Amino acid sequence: MTENKRAQTTDSANKTIGEFVAEDYRTATVFEGHGIDFCCGGQATLAEACQAKGVDSDALLKEMEGVKSAPIEGSRNYGAWELPFLADYIVNTHHAYLNENTGQIAAYADKIAGVHGAHHPEVVEISAIFRKIAADLADHLREEEEVLFPAVKRIEMARKSGGAPEAGDVRVIRASLEKLQKEHEEIGDAVHAIRRLARDYAIPADACNTFVLTYRKLEEFENDLHMHVHLENNILFPKAARPC
């Protein structure tokens, strides 16, 4: 291996998973394929993540080069979006999804816990965990929509006009980012606990239609949350913190 190649490999090993996906969203499929968390666990370096999962980092880098060989969709180049647009996209796409689906999923989880809990005690735990997630998310989304995102937009407006951001907005962003990132970790841990209890959403032989639907919706919820948290943790939050 040449010195230049060795240096590039070292640089890649020290880059975080979140940084890879923020630079090119297509790499997320590679990380997902190896069970590597790119949203809540996005602060881990490539070397750390590969070691934890027993994955060869060189092979993973080759896989990433493969997915990046196709032209990137400009409409999904999230890292190039302006912060106000990205904030609105998160609200209109991911917050809307949660508002429309979280209550329904909680009701399904409660139902299968009542019907199947005796033979599948894991669904009772899943129901309780999801109820907690739903309650926490309601406050979390409100904080983003009413506090963080408006402050981000005001700072961006000040930047464009050549002015300085308001000290109050800077304080708001600092406090909100710390709080919201901690909540992302807690919600991410809870979602991972559900996946473990559900054995990667494997459907038991005696499952009814509601049981199947609940597991499918829980997996859909997890997938949406991954992209939602990625857009915030790895793109919006670091950019919003710059003026702070």
Sequence-separated (6 or more) residues with CB below 8 Å from residue 180:
140, 143, 144, 148, 232, 237
Whether residues 135 and 223 share a domain: the answer is yes
HEC readout, 203-221: CCCCCCHHHHHHHHHHHHH
Coil, strand or helix at 68: coil
Mean pLDDT lowest among 29-43, 164-178, 215-229: 29-43
Which of 45, 76, 107 is at the close of a domain?
76
Q: What is the pLDDT of residues 106-153, one digit of tens each?
A: 999 999 999 999 999 999 999 999 999 999 999 999 999 999 999 999
CB 165 within 8 A of CB 155: yes
What pLDDT does 140 receive?
97
What's the mean pLDDT when you consider all of the chain?
89
What pLDDT does 72 receive?
64
What pLDDT does 201 receive?
97
Which of 76, 94, 125 is at the close of a domain?
76
What is the C-alpha separation between 144 and 87, in angstroms, rounded?
9
Which of 54, 76, 98 is at the close of a domain?
76
Sequence-separated (6 or more) residues with CB below 8 Å from residue 159:
165, 243
Whether residues 12 and 117 share a domain: the answer is no
Q: What range defines the domain where residue 63 resides?
A: 3-76
Q: What is the pLDDT averaged over residues 52-76?
A: 83
What's the total number of domains in the chain?
2
CATH code at position 17: 1.10.3910
